[in-house]
Structure 1
Amino acid sequence: MANTPGGGALLVGFDDKTAEVVGADLDPEWLRHRIHQRVDIAPTIEERHLDGSRILVLLVAEAREPVEDTRSRLRWRVGGHCAPIDPAEWWLHQQRRRRHDAMAEPTNRTLRDVAPGALLIARANLEQVQGVSDSVMDDADLLRHLGVLPPGGNLTQAGALLFCPSERSLIDYGRWDVEGGDVIDRGPELRGQSLLEQIATVEQRLDAVNTAITIKGSFAETTVRRLPPRAVREAVLNGVTHRDWTTHEPTRVTWIDLDSALEVVSPGGFVGGVDAGNILAEHYARYPALADLMRAVGLVDKKGIGVDRMYREMVALGHRPPAIEQTSGPRVRTRLRGGDPVLPVLELMSAIRPSARRNDVKVALLVHTLLHHPFVNAETLAPVLQRDPLYAAEAIEVAAAARIGQGALIEELKDVWVLSTTSLEILERRRGATASGVLPYRRPTDEQQMLAVVRQWLAHHPSISSGEYGRLVGLTTTGGRGHLDRLVEAGFLERGLGVGRNAHYLSIQTERTNATDHGIRQ
């Protein structure tokens, strides 16, 4: 069915030979997940009742890539039968249909079916984002401008979804006190509203619960939200734009009060080669026509950088980066956790010059990494940016050119990069920075903390000197040597060559390996 143009439907609960209704006891969610495990297809499953028996209807959407069955065969439907198909023939057929997008197909909806509230929202967005005035176009011209009202007068599927009233809630909003605790607000009934109106309603709810936090101190008194509003908006819009619209399951938006957290769960797994490990680098629209309409209305960014914006907005306040993962179903879950900003981080990010670099996700993630790890290089930064080491090296060059007042943002230490003295002064002059999880490697007090820094360095270098260690942890050369000598006494390191600032230390494993190699050469 998935290999067949237009997909198809399978009925469960009938006798294959007689077509007699026998009923089905399978759990739909279990069946959907099991099918996805076996053939990487997750059909929509609906329960129906016929002649007093429960049956299941599996609605299978057409796949973008050929799907093999459990015997590694490629087949599709020809009339009432399954027939084998050669992969080359399948791709040739796809090439002929390459421009097909279900959201671009015409519907039986017309201008008369459009919700007035959706038009008001679209006009407000266009005026704000593009400067298009209300008086320029009538309703029909507006919809033509957005590309959802073709000459035939019938709305596209994307246009009908966004502008026409829906018979069901497309977004399920809820507010909890704690995760798994009591429901504070189940949200309004959204049935009867268009998707555009449902999005606006949910955003209003989130804006009300995402309260402001007042910041006092060296700043002029100002406020920030518990979660960055732009990150909240992007999480919701990504959840409705890139979800699987062949299923009737709503996109679930949950606010968790005590954690200042937002969770958005959207039906459908990752597609188009995107996964949790490359979501910053790869962009793919499941429904290009819908994604284009969302951009045209001004809801999402024209460059497809919504996920980048979520990351940047979160880490710029000292929060964790978004957690985006595929769960069973399949579904994609996006989780943002905020709360009080980490003031030293906020102050540092606000001081970056040129100011445009504050909006650079590369710089934001590099700084975030150095807030929790003593150094970076292209090799360690590449997986953080979800790019290759060449891109990471470019990011380091960009950050190295950025300024903090009269100083640099980052500085080079041997062949790696660390936060500059100027940056560290901003971060460390505020009390409670380390209590917020910032700079956990600075001035360690126990051997395990000391050893963690040393091991990170020795993973990329053959030895560590007292000067290098002191620079990483914020100690003098003498203080650094004292820490390293403690690790020697504890049996973690051995003293190498050199004295004073050039005193070098090696892991015992490295020292023994070198001694063994020397013996073999002799």
Structure 2
Amino acid sequence: MAPTRSVTEALAAISSGRRSADSLEGDHLDFKTDKSNDKETGQDLAEAAVCFANAAGGTIILGVRDRDVGPSAFVGTHISTAVLRSKIHDLTEPPMLVEVEEVDWQGVRLVQVSVPQGLDVYSTRKGLVLRRWNDQCLPLRPNDVSRLDDERRGADWSSAPSGRPLGDVDPEAMHRLRQLLSQASSASRRHLSTSSDIDVARALKLVASDASLTRAGEILLCREATCASEDILVYQYRATPGGEAKVARRWGSPLITAFTEAIDVITARSGVTPVNTSGGQVIQVEDFPLAAVREALANALLHGDYRERRAVQVEHSPSALRVQSPGPLVAGITPANILTAGSRARFAALTSAFRQLGLAEELGQGVDRMFREMVRSGRRTPEVQVIEGGDHANTVVTLRGGPPNARVARFVAELPEAERDDTDALLIIQLLCERRSVTARDVAPVVQRDITSTEEVLRRLATGDAEVLEPTAGTRARRNPNYRLRGHALAALGPAVTYHRRNASDADRKIIDHLREYSSINNSTIQRIFDVDVYQARDILRDLVGREVLTRTSEQTRGTAVRYGKGAKFPEKRPGSRTPT
């Protein structure tokens, strides 16, 4: 059996001495060596297979030492593929079926075990329930096992009857719900806003088979929901991240009231920065883009695990908005694939109602939009973490605020619409503000796509309407060339590009050399010499005039055609030249 491309690349990196096996292990790859006998080897691989099956699946390579590099890392294995397949089957519960095949790597016999994502929750025969997290196998807590079992079976806790009658619905919550329906884009939903309470609840699937509200209906519309904690959302505002809370609010159910009021509270404490585009338009850049805030809060309230009876915590300061929800991400979703894994609802009934009310994005668009809006506002992408500790896990999304990078915001606003709304394109542009050039391999983990798909995006940005990238001359003929920002993009982004900084003495030298040769210089020439825009060129000229290195020589006093010549302090000899002896 030929190993997959990613496995082949990993083995090649170990062979060449560039990487060790343990540095290449992650969510989907693990390396093992034989134990003292086949029984122990089978037990070791059964545990590793359980880890992958309870996560998103993965590959185990048997016969490679973790910490060695070069040929010495490949010690091989003697265990029979049939024996290993049988032992993994016998030592797991329910019995697991995996693909086990031999791999010949430079004359060394290895074994590759391919583990699919499980349809059930797996354990070893000894009762160990493990799940892969980054490069580790971690034991699952009882709550985690129950949560994973529900998700694997498709069970929806929020669709079960709550026992609360429709008459328990909070009138204010129902009023808000009708307002949202009346603003819907769909005519059928707008019509629903004038229907009876029972028809509205049934249409949103908030009524259980026993005619009581579902748990989703109770959390969404009733006060003091019995299936959730007393507080479902806690908000604190601080003038500085480590300072005392200036504002604190707590909300219990109904969720529809908590969500809409919390959005209003956050928005009221967020400022706006006006940014002028080259076309004369003014875009309003929010401290925290409303679309990103709505998505972060909606995700926390929809996917946080109400069964743990802990509140969603929001910590707000001018520099950061941190949203913490109880429980880990939904099974199969990690921070490394959250953009491309697709939306998976932990509580399908609750999520469906929220989306029909327009309070959350459609499937597969929400997180994507959160990342896109942060880059469009000239800020860093959201930070998504799952923090394990004690008896609980928490999912934390952090949006960074502070002054926006106006150059990035302006540049994105002036892109063609297709690229302006494309998350992959914006993430690549942001990456190239920090790196001179990138390949598809560099970009793939950032956009969370495979190398082939990533290369297609890079080529589109190099040849499409935007034409913001170009392959470097020396790599143009390669299958996966190095890409860099084109000159006009560098000029427009200016100081937002961290490596595109002008050295003052070097700039002076170039301008002085130009004047010695041509006697005059103008704004357009500065733009061409330094690959900057009209405004940066203006600032360079102002600085030199202020230091009397240059002086205006044309009658024209405004515009890019104004010409400059030698000023009173223009050096008469080349910098660094020696006086003849």
The answer to whether the 8 Å contact 2:192/2:200 transfers is no
The answer to whether the 8 Å contact 1:110/1:155 transfers is yes
Distance 1:398 1:123 in 2: 44
SS at match of 2:411: helix
Q: Is 1:296 the equivalent of 2:296?
A: no
Q: Is 1:273 the equivalent of 2:317?
A: no
Distance 1:308 1:210 in 2: 22
Paired AA for residue 197 in structure 2: D
In the other structure, the counterpart of 1:164 is 222
Relative distance call for 1:391 and 1:296 in structure 2 (3 A) is same
Distance 1:345 1:222 in 2: 12
SS at match of 1:197: helix
Distance 1:114 1:239 in 2: 23
Q: Is 1:393 the equivalent of 2:451?
A: no
Relative distance call for 1:135 and 1:186 in structure 2 (3 A) is closer
Relative distance call for 1:288 and 1:368 in structure 2 (3 A) is same
Q: Is 1:350 the equivalent of 2:409?
A: no
Q: Is 1:425 the equivalent of 2:485?
A: no
Q: Is 1:317 the equivalent of 2:377?
A: yes
Distance 2:273 2:154 in 1: 48
Relative distance call for 1:420 and 1:245 in structure 2 (3 A) is same
Distance 1:307 1:102 in 2: 23
Give the Å deviation of 1:134. 6.0
Paired AA for residue 106 in structure 1: P
Distance 1:220 1:107 in 2: 52
Distance 1:134 1:339 in 2: 42
Q: Deviations over 1:39-74 (max 9, x none)?
A: x99xxxxxxxxxxxxxxxxxxxxx984364894457
The answer to whether the 8 Å contact 2:204/2:353 transfers is yes
Distance 1:379 1:98 in 2: 36
In the other structure, the counterpart of 1:118 is 173
Q: Is 1:246 the equivalent of 2:311?
A: no
SS at match of 2:424: helix
Distance 1:278 1:317 in 2: 23
Match for residue 412 of structure 1 among 468, 471, 486: 471
TM-score normalised over the length of structure 2: 0.57
For the aligned residues, what is the CA RMSD?
3.2
SS at match of 1:173: strand
Alignment length, in residue pairs?
A: 358
In the other structure, the counterpart of 1:514 is none
Distance 2:485 2:219 in 1: 49
Q: For 1:432-511, what aligned pairs fall within 5 Å after superposition?
A: 434=495, 438-443=496-501
In the other structure, the counterpart of 2:244 is 182
SS at match of 2:307: coil
Q: For 1:190-339, what aligned pairs fall within 5 Å after superposition?
A: 190-191=251-252, 193-215=253-275, 218=278, 219-257=280-318, 259=319, 261-283=320-342, 284-328=344-388, 329-339=392-402
In the other structure, the counterpart of 1:376 is 438
Match for residue 102 of structure 1 among 145, 157, 166: 157
Distance 1:68 1:175 in 2: 44
Distance 1:119 1:152 in 2: 21
Give the Å deviation of 1:119. 1.7
The answer to whether the 8 Å contact 1:352/1:402 transfers is no
In the other structure, the counterpart of 2:115 is none
Relative distance call for 1:371 and 1:195 in structure 2 (3 A) is same
SS at match of 2:183: helix
Distance 1:339 1:285 in 2: 32
Relative distance call for 1:267 and 1:474 in structure 2 (3 A) is same
Higher gyration radius (CA): 2
Give the Å deviation of 1:346. 1.4
Give the Å deviation of 1:252. 0.2
In the other structure, the counterpart of 1:130 is 185
The answer to whether the 8 Å contact 2:487/2:531 transfers is no
TM-score normalised over the length of structure 1: 0.63
Give the Å deviation of 1:302. 1.5
Relative distance call for 1:309 and 1:424 in structure 2 (3 A) is same
Relative distance call for 1:157 and 1:135 in structure 2 (3 A) is closer
Distance 2:239 2:405 in 1: 23
SS at match of 1:253: strand
Q: Percent identity?
A: 28
Distance 2:372 2:400 in 1: 14
The answer to whether the 8 Å contact 1:166/1:195 transfers is no
Distance 2:159 2:366 in 1: 23
Give the Å deviation of 1:264. 0.2
Give the Å deviation of 1:398. 3.2
Distance 2:282 2:446 in 1: 34
Paired AA for residue 376 in structure 2: A
Distance 1:390 1:139 in 2: 51
Distance 2:119 2:347 in 1: 11
The answer to whether the 8 Å contact 1:357/1:402 transfers is no
Moved more, 143-152 or 270-279: 143-152
Give the Å deviation of 1:223. 2.6
Extract unaligned runs of 5+ from structure 1.
Answer: 1-36, 42-62, 75-89, 429-433, 447-470, 476-522
Moved more, 343-352 or 98-107: 98-107
SS at match of 2:274: strand
SS at match of 2:284: strand
Distance 1:156 1:299 in 2: 19
Paired AA for residue 392 in structure 1: T
Relative distance call for 1:398 and 1:291 in structure 2 (3 A) is farther
Distance 2:485 2:205 in 1: 49
